Amino acid sequence: MKAESTRTVRTVLQWLLGAATVLMAALLIWQCVTIYHEGIAPENMGENGLRIHDIYSREIVTAHFASIAWSVWVFLALLAANIIAGKPEQKESLRAPVENQLLMLRARTEETDEIRKVKKQRIGVWCGAAILCLICGGMAGRFLLDWSNFASRDLEVVVRQMAIETFPWIGLAFILLMAAEQWNFRLLMKELELRRSAQKRKPDAAAPEKTTGRNVIRVIIAAAAVVLIALGVMNGGMFDVLVKAINICTECIGLG
């Protein structure tokens, strides 16, 4: 019971640390964006066309970051709490990953209706996540593929509009993938428990590996490579590539 409660506390602290990390990063990004917009605002421009204050001056950055200092202290406190909580016990840390345990058990246990149901649920989770991520990608791609959205020469306006239109969909896709992974892990653990209590059977004999198709593909790729190299040598392309590489390298080191 004590080990279980310790593991629960450790898990909660890890989640809190992750949330604090995301929060601190978001606040830092927000402050940087705010400082930049205040720096380029008309109020910060003098009559001579020069800025009154530097955008990222030490005083301005200190004033803005002081307002979010509490998030840094929360992050450090949770980091210290996770360090104090310690690592899992040696016995637990040496346990094989769930996927490896399932691979060994699947070869030695019979499949029950409950196990088949769990496997179908896992397939459904990933299919649903893939469909939702495709929808998110389509919504973001709709903006990216519309060239009229990039007609303006004001790069700041274009980038800001692109971030507004695409970042929420990209973030939603990441959240969906993380949720699907957590759900998938829970289903893996459920299948693992079912496998441990399922009826045992002898493992199937390993079928001989067929390598004919793989060898044919290797021969085709090798032949295509030889043909392409020969064509490059015949038309002087290889020499041109060598000359360009030498010119680029000499320019990079200041000799060109």
pLDDT value at position 170? Answer: 93
Task: Please tell me the total number of residues recorded for the chain in this structure.
Answer: 256
Coil/strand/helix, residue 109:
strand
What span, in angstroms and rounded, lies between the C-alpha atoms of 194 and 24? 41
pLDDT value at position 225? Answer: 82
Is 144 within 8 Å of 156 (Cβ atoms)? no
Q: What type of residue sits at position 230?
A: A
pLDDT per position as a tens digit, 231-254:
766 666 666 766 776 777 777 665
Name the one residue in this structure whose structure tokens are 């829970």.
186
Name the one residue in this structure whose structure tokens are 């705010």.
34
What span, in angstroms and rounded, lies between the C-alpha atoms of 147 and 16? 42
pLDDT value at position 256? Answer: 46
The region, left, alpha or beta by phi > 0 then psi within -120 to 50, assigned to residue 102 is alpha
Dihedral sign (CA 75, 76, 79, 85): negative
pLDDT value at position 254? Answer: 57
Is 149 within 8 Å of 158 (Cβ atoms)? yes
H runs (alpha helix) in the chain: 2-39, 58-66, 69-85, 90-93, 98-106, 113-144, 155-197, 212-234, 237-252
pLDDT value at position 17? Answer: 92
Coil/strand/helix, residue 67:
coil
What span, in angstroms and rounded, lies between the C-alpha atoms of 170 and 136? 7
pLDDT value at position 154? Answer: 76
pLDDT value at position 224? Answer: 87
Task: Give the global pTM.
Answer: 0.54
Q: Enumerate residue ranges in the chain where pLDDT < 70.
A: 1-3, 87-96, 203-209, 232-239, 241-242, 245, 252-256
